[in-house]
Structure 1
Amino acid sequence: MILQSKHETGAGRDESALANRLDSIFTTALRERRIVGAVAVVASHGKVIYRRAHGWAERETQRPMHEDTLFRLASVTKPIVTLAVLRLAADGKLQLDDHVSRWLPDFTPRLPDGSQPPLTLHQLLTHTAGLSYGLLEGPGSEYDLLGISDGIDRVDFSLEENLRRVAGASLVFAPGSAWRYSLALDVLGAVIERVTGAPLADAIAQLVTGPLGMHDTGFVSDEPTRFAVPYADGAPEPVKMTENVSVPLPEGHGVAVRFAPSRAFEPTAYPSGGAGMYGSADDVLRVLEAVRDGKSFLPDALRAAMYVDHTPPGTETRGPGWGFGYGAAVLNDPVLAGSPQSAGTLQWGGVYGHSWFIDATRGLTVLLLTNTAYEGMSGALTLEVRDAVYGD
């Protein structure tokens, strides 16, 4: 699944027009100091038609962004770990309707009434298990009081200890009855370790990154000079992140993400299956293309299940018209969502400043990696890039 850039072979007028639109968008975003740097890639039916770096990997030293710059992926980790779970299902090593307690006997969280309903791997994949994130629960919540890590900060305990704390917090709803973005993929990381008998980093390499030729992706790197320095939204310009800094989410309500940029270089940091990986744009594109058209990577039925909305009726994940499949939100109603994307489009991102979507109906895969939170995840830039791809 090697993707070739049409810019190397002579782009047609459509590709040139797309490049002009996208270049203009990034020029404006940089001039307005909404982002520090970015790498954007657009592929059409597996052929790269736009792949360019913009701005700075490190503003203070004027180190330019490059196409192969490495990024802390945050929740772009999730589709990688999702593919690993689905590979294990395809190989008959686990079943998606397995109870989590089959693999993690001590992970049996309770509802507020004290009952202990079973959780399934399917519910973890779809964030319908009743778990949550500390960043969503806020100060004074059980997640806060138990010291639960969201997998982005630096802590001095293991994955097993973090899951023990998660299991000690009450489920926020009965499994299968609602949707809440959560630490479910961290739990699945522990399941992967139990099923394979290997540390998560080794299992992911065997199941996903190795087979897909992703040589620039992992959990802990020894190449810090290749990384984009992370920044947080600020005025008059983004602010360089410090260690374990809390950055309020745009939605407000006193909720913030606690970032620890050094985590990507710390061998003792536990591997977070929901937020702990790093990688390059080319490597992430390989993952997204495996989701879009990876016939040799996943059986058709499992790949098709990624595009099915598995949430209860009435759920809104990214707003009206959006449900959730495996690994990402799925667009049910483009009109309701006010989007030019096709029904069935998958989309998600990451809090370090990333966004991606797959419009399989039109053969489009679009990836935006930035070093600016949260503009690159949920700011105006994401909509500008989306609309430019569709010709608006």
Structure 2
Amino acid sequence: MQVLADPKDLGLCPERLERVDGWMRGLVAEGRLAGLSVSVMRRGQLAFARAHGLADMKRGTPFGLDTVTRIYSMTKPLTSVAVMQLYEEGRFQLDDPVARFLPEFSDLRVATGGNRAKLETEPARRPITIRDLLTHTAGLTYGFMEATLVDALYRQQGADYLRVDSTLAEVTRTVAGLPLLAQPGTAWNYSVATDVLGRLVEVISGQDFADHLRARVIRPLGMHDTDFHVRPENQGRFAACYVYDRERRLTQYDDAVETVFARQPAIASGGGGLVSTAADYLRFCRFILNGGALDGVRLLGRKTVDLMTTNHLRGDLAAMGTPRFAETSYDGIGFGLGFSVMLDPARAQILGSPGEVAWGGLASTAFWIDPTEEMAVVLLTQLIPSSALPIRKQLRVMTYAALLD
């Protein structure tokens, strides 16, 4: 973690930032979170970095700034960076059909109705493009949504459960064999699209996806504690994960030691498989704020980052049908190539800046990057689901309220 700067030198109010510390202490004292950390960066310098509570209630391990956590869907932006690196090399265009590289995505059908006994479908009106995958407008879904017949098929076929007896290629073929939820490009649906992108990276690069992401993104950015599993030397810093029981008390969901994250997974999930730390993810945020470079290492061109952080939807998420789940609100928020994009803070009913990019993870982790304010915030905790507490909105208000200039 970087050395802390004086917040006043960065245009931030120290007293207002202290509100964040009190808020963190309260969440732990009231038993709403086992532990958490918050890091606030502005103008490339760390203005605030605190951790409170426990990473592991069973063993009494404190939650620290170096605690390793499951970041789940905060993996997606890193996968998107790997995809866009290949784009910059001329390997594909964003409007290329996915079937050019993954032939199993040819001749797709779209669900139109029916029931469990007989699902009605129609042919897809156009192919899924790589841009559709990056923007979650491909018509794919997640089985955990449990809202449609297509979701049920995903669960039945194990299409979004990256089983130890499968390969990424096999899971991708299973997904491609199921009906789409909507015609490509017509609706925004959070989905396994980024896992399909991981397979796309494998096919285009000729390299295992996990190896490719480590070599091209994670290691060049100096994200030393970030990987698809917890390395043995980091095991003592890994947090347990929690859920609420019926009385809203914290109960363990996944142990810090006896966990699947203690070993290399058979399949590296580009949509949600990474573990990371606050310091590592701040490096990723700095990389985006710097327009694709960090500490003299350039991984993406400035214009590519501009494209990724621009809204690619026809309006906000709310205008793209009726989203059933997102790690953000729907009104006033668009989506770029791997991130949500703030369009209108008034419509979103939250403090922020147009052009701010963000996302979160299943275990209530979150980040946002604001180029206008030259600011980035990383929140790490381990509570499933991310909708259990409104901590992201609360933290967003307090951090933006600390701005002085």
| 4+ aligned runs moved over 4 Å, structure 1 | 9-13
- Tell me whether 189-198 or 366-375 shows the greater mean CA deviation: 366-375
Counterpart secondary structure, 1:94: coil
Equivalent pair of 1:36/1:55 in contact (CA under 8 Å) = yes
Equivalent pair of 1:138/1:144 in contact (CA under 8 Å) = no
Instruction: Provide the residue aligned with 2:389 in structure 1.
Output: 379
| Identical amino acids, percent of aligned pairs | 33
1:362 to 347, 355, 373: 373
1:1-392 matches, within 5 Å, as 3-6=2-5, 14-108=12-106, 109-112=108-111, 113-116=121-124, 117-138=126-147, 141-151=152-162, 155-223=164-232, 224-234=235-245, 235-242=247-254, 262-296=259-293, 297-313=299-315, 315-316=317-318, 318-374=329-385, 379-391=389-401
**Residue 303 of structure 1 aligns to which amino acid in structure 2?**
V
- Tell me whether 310-319 or 323-332 shows the greater mean CA deviation: 310-319
Taking the aligned partners of 1:135 and 1:229, their CA distance within structure 2 comes to: 22
Instruction: Provide the residue aligned with 2:323 in structure 1.
Output: none
1:242/1:371 Cα in 2 relative to 1: closer, same or farther (>3 Å)?
closer
Query: What's the offset of the Cα at 1:292?
Result: 2.0
- Tell me whether 78-87 or 306-315 shows the greater mean CA deviation: 306-315
Query: What's the offset of the Cα at 1:294?
Result: 3.0
Equivalent pair of 2:197/2:270 in contact (CA under 8 Å) = yes
Render the CA deviation track for 1:46-94: whole Å, top value 9, x for unaligned: 1111112211010122110111111111001001111111111122233
Counterpart secondary structure, 1:53: strand
Equivalent pair of 2:134/2:338 in contact (CA under 8 Å) = yes
Counterpart secondary structure, 1:214: coil
Query: What's the offset of the Cα at 1:15?
Result: 5.0
Query: What's the offset of the Cα at 1:137?
Result: 3.6
Taking the aligned partners of 2:97 and 2:396, their CA distance within structure 1 comes to: 38
**Residue 229 of structure 2 aligns to which amino acid in structure 1?**
V
Structure 1: gaps spanning 5 or more residues: 244-259
Counterpart secondary structure, 1:232: strand
Render the CA deviation track for 1:316-375: whole Å, top value 9, x for unaligned: 262211111121211111111111101111121000220111111111101101012235
Query: What's the offset of the Cα at 1:160?
Result: 1.7
**Residue 269 of structure 1 aligns to which amino acid in structure 2?**
A
TM-score (norm 2): 0.85
Taking the aligned partners of 1:233 and 1:293, their CA distance within structure 2 comes to: 39
TM-score (norm 1): 0.88
Query: What's the offset of the Cα at 1:42?
Result: 0.6
Equivalent pair of 2:164/2:265 in contact (CA under 8 Å) = no
Residues paired across the two proteins, number: 371
Counterpart secondary structure, 1:267: coil
1:271/1:42 Cα in 2 relative to 1: closer, same or farther (>3 Å)?
same
Equivalent pair of 2:37/2:381 in contact (CA under 8 Å) = yes
RMSD: 2.4
Structure 2: gaps spanning 5 or more residues: 112-120, 294-298, 319-325
1:372/1:17 Cα in 2 relative to 1: closer, same or farther (>3 Å)?
same
Query: What's the offset of the Cα at 1:226?
Result: 2.0
Equivalent pair of 1:11/1:49 in contact (CA under 8 Å) = no
Taking the aligned partners of 1:13 and 1:95, their CA distance within structure 2 comes to: 41
Render the CA deviation track for 1:176-202: whole Å, top value 9, x for unaligned: 111100100000000111111111111
Counterpart secondary structure, 2:170: helix
**Residue 322 of structure 1 aligns to which amino acid in structure 2?**
I
- Tell me whether 84-93 or 181-190 shows the greater mean CA deviation: 84-93
1:15/1:282 Cα in 2 relative to 1: closer, same or farther (>3 Å)?
farther
Equivalent pair of 1:125/1:327 in contact (CA under 8 Å) = yes
**Residue 40 of structure 2 aligns to which amino acid in structure 1?**
V
Taking the aligned partners of 1:48 and 1:79, their CA distance within structure 2 comes to: 22
Query: What's the offset of the Cα at 1:233?
Result: 2.8
Instruction: Provide the residue aligned with 1:250 in structure 2.
Output: none
Counterpart secondary structure, 1:241: strand
Render the CA deviation track for 1:105-164: whole Å, top value 9, x for unaligned: 22334223342431111110000111111111458621122222245xx54322222112
Instruction: Provide the residue aligned with 1:253 in structure 2.
Output: none
Query: What's the offset of the Cα at 1:314?
Result: 5.4
Equivalent pair of 2:17/2:398 in contact (CA under 8 Å) = no
Equivalent pair of 2:316/2:335 in contact (CA under 8 Å) = no
Equivalent pair of 1:355/1:367 in contact (CA under 8 Å) = yes
- Tell me whether 211-220 or 262-271 shows the greater mean CA deviation: 262-271
Taking the aligned partners of 1:13 and 1:267, their CA distance within structure 2 comes to: 43
Equivalent pair of 1:137/1:143 in contact (CA under 8 Å) = no
Counterpart secondary structure, 1:57: strand
